[in-house]
Amino acid sequence: MAYRYLGNSGLKVNEIIYGNWLTHGSQVEAETAAACVAAALDEGITTFDTADVYANGRAEEVLGNALRAERRESLVVLSKVYWPTGPQGPNDCGLSRKHIMESINATLRRLQMDYVDVYQAHRFDYFTPLDETMLAFADIVHAGKAHYIGVSEWNAEQITAGAELARDLGISLISSQPQYSMLWRVIEPEVVPACQEAGVSQIVWSPVAQGVLTGKYVPGQPIPAGSRATDEKGGANMIKRFLNDDVLTAVQRLRPIADEREITMAQLAVAWVLSRPNVTSAIIGASRPEQVRENVKASQIVLDDDAFARIDEALADVVVQDPSHTESPTQRPC
């Protein structure tokens, strides 16, 4: 498993990162989750992404248990703070100093670790001054509870302002974690240039568009039983934006491109993401160990100019690129 530097830092992370959104503590049992983590380790993945909101803390607990026997220094662990956790009281969300400080301690307790490598703001908080947020992150870094900081789904202006404050406080903001795929390219016009200027790189989630780019959703046919689109607790609301005949028909045009290269459509999608400017890593999830083993093969795939041109042609009418879709809640989530 290849490594790349994250942002303008000396930290190396895997090209493919194992993430446990929607799976650990919710969709799969702890034993299966541990087997998926073991498969990731076997494949050379040492970088893991989680968040306190995933299954209301349970995902962090499951990941911590699965990694407990591993040498901590050999791992890179990322977690996030913002969304409501715990009983969802008035201070159980956002990026206030109170919530950040309490959340990092809870995260470390659940992970059974002394520090996380990257601690990320899961969204931008319009209700807390940015300097309060960044000072709290700086105190966490200076206390040794995190090595670096990052953000998720912040727009270009927010990233630029956050990176400037981080530098003033003597800490490194090195990662942006947006949704990004062949279908969802909203970071390209503004976020990517801003990140390149700020020394930040992308760790992207949903590189296969919640499963749509695997090709298993076929226009005019019923949604496959047991798929994410049927699971109201597992992302059905997010995937529905792609479940229309125009998108699904366009996605099927990718199948010959994958077949000619003797790879799966999922591997094609992840390889495409890893080839894009300013992208360091792609996050994959899994509900079965074999999914991990298949998806990691994407790190070995190099796409040629013909593949890129045909992908763009196949999806031209359905790609979303409007940068306004990179947004955070304008109403407080708790």
User: Does residue 49 sit in helix, strand or coil?
Assistant: strand
What is the distance between the alpha carbons of residues 330 and 267, in angstroms, rounded to a whole number? 36
Q: Is residue 54 annotated as part of the catalytic site, yes or no?
A: yes
Residue 149's pLDDT is what? 98
Residue 227's pLDDT is what? 56
pLDDT per residue of the chain (334 residues) written in tens, 0 to 9: 899 999 999 999 999 999 998 665 555 677 888 899 999 999 999 999 999 999 999 999 999 999 999 999 999 999 999 999 989 899 999 999 999 999 999 999 999 999 999 999 999 999 999 999 999 999 999 999 999 999 999 999 999 999 999 999 999 999 999 999 999 999 999 999 999 999 999 999 999 999 999 999 998 877 765 555 545 655 666 788 899 999 999 999 999 999 999 999 999 999 999 999 999 999 998 888 999 999 999 998 999 999 999 999 999 999 999 999 999 999 999 9
- Cβ neighbourhood burial of 199 (10 Å; 0-12, 13-18, 19+): middle
> Which of 3, 5, 18, 54 is flagged as catalytic?
54
* Residue 217 tokens, joined: 């959703």
| Helices 97-111 and 58-67, packing angle to 10 deg | 40
Residue 234's pLDDT is what? 55
What is the distance between the alpha carbons of residues 322 and 7, in angstroms, rounded to a whole number? 24
Rounded to 10 degrees, what is the CA torsion of 107, 108, 113, 116?
70
Residue 31's pLDDT is what? 84
Residue 239's pLDDT is what? 83
